[in-house]
Amino acid sequence: MKPLADMALDVLQTADGRAKTALSHKYAAEWRAAREGGDLPEIGTANPPMHPARPDKPELLSPRDVPHRKPGSELGRIALLHAVAHIELNAVDLHWDIIARFSHISLPAGFYDDWVSAADDESKHFNLLCDCLEELGSHYGALPAHAGMWRAAEDTAEDFMGRLAVVPMVLEARGLDVTPGMIKVFKNAKLDSAVSALETIYAEEVSHVAYGSKWFNFMCGRENSDPKEVFHALVRRYFHGKLKPPFNEEKRADAGLPPDFYWPLTEDL
Ligand SMILES: [Fe+2]
Ligand SMILES: [Fe+2]
């Protein structure tokens, strides 16, 4: 078995979405089998590219140039599924990127278990959404997508704690806030496959946020610092803009994110 950092690099360097997620599933299964067999596979080190390989399509546009469509129409629902598929593909790369980019930091094996498992989930999420798009006669790549999605990765490329704060604890937590509304859109349209895909995503994303808060707290404990204060400082430094309520307080609590972590970030300093 290859060192985990090399596996991560392979996924990051695969451009096609279905091929990237197939490789991600394969490596996650290898990792899990080794761990269940009682092995601690080698982590290794890697030098990941600043930008992961991506397919030629979708065309990536600045957020203000991506056309907004009303979710009440068929085209609007396709656009919404396409946008979420794009987020999921970015999430696959983000999770393998954190493994590769910060492989020089010494962490318990459980950290890698969590991130490999999250990458495996995101790969499934991307494929579920691609299936829904294809069922509606579209596909991933048929519409333009946001170019800014990788910004958080670039901004925190040299700050492991910043990455944990911004990606799982802000961006993925935001997913918990907005997914119930999306599920409603597809329920109203009686699109069962999209409803079930989004319900799977909603259930599994709680654990991704939980991995973030768990390892963020672990690192703060290692450095004997106050997690809440460190979180506020890092989000203000690396996240552009304020956090937007309403928050899904219940699911955020399930994921170990207490209100005093996020409410103060809704205000200007
Ligand atoms: Fe996901
Ligand atoms: Fe996620």
Tens digits of residue pLDDT in 68-78: 877 789 999 99
Q: How many angstroms separate the alpha carbon of residue 205 from the centre of ligand 2?
A: 5
Q: How many angstroms separate the alpha carbon of residue 267 from the centre of ligand 2?
A: 26
Using CA atoms, how far residue 215 sits from 70, 82, 158, 261, in Å, is 38, 31, 17, 15
Mean pLDDT of 178-203: 97
Res. 24 pLDDT band, cuts 50 70 90: very high
Question: Residue type at 178?
Answer: V
Q: How many angstroms separate the alpha carbon of residue 177 from the centre of ligand 2?
A: 13
Q: How many angstroms separate the alpha carbon of residue 233 from the centre of ligand 2?
A: 23
The pocket of ion ligand 2, defined by CB under 5 A, consists of: 91, 172, 205, 208
Tokens of 159: 């700050």
Q: How many angstroms separate the alpha carbon of residue 202 from the centre of ligand 1?
A: 8
Q: How many angstroms separate the alpha carbon of residue 229 from the centre of ligand 2?
A: 24
Ligand nearest to the Cα of 172, by number:
2
Q: Given a cut of 90, is residue 39 above it in pLDDT?
A: no
The CA distance from 192 to 132, in Å, is: 9
The CA distance from 146 to 153, in Å, is: 14
- At CA 150, angle to CA 145 and CA 153, rounded to 5? 165
Ligand nearest to the Cα of 200, by number:
1
* pTM summary value: 0.97
Strand pairing category for 60-61 and 145-146:
parallel
Q: Given a cut of 70, is residue 41 above it in pLDDT?
A: yes
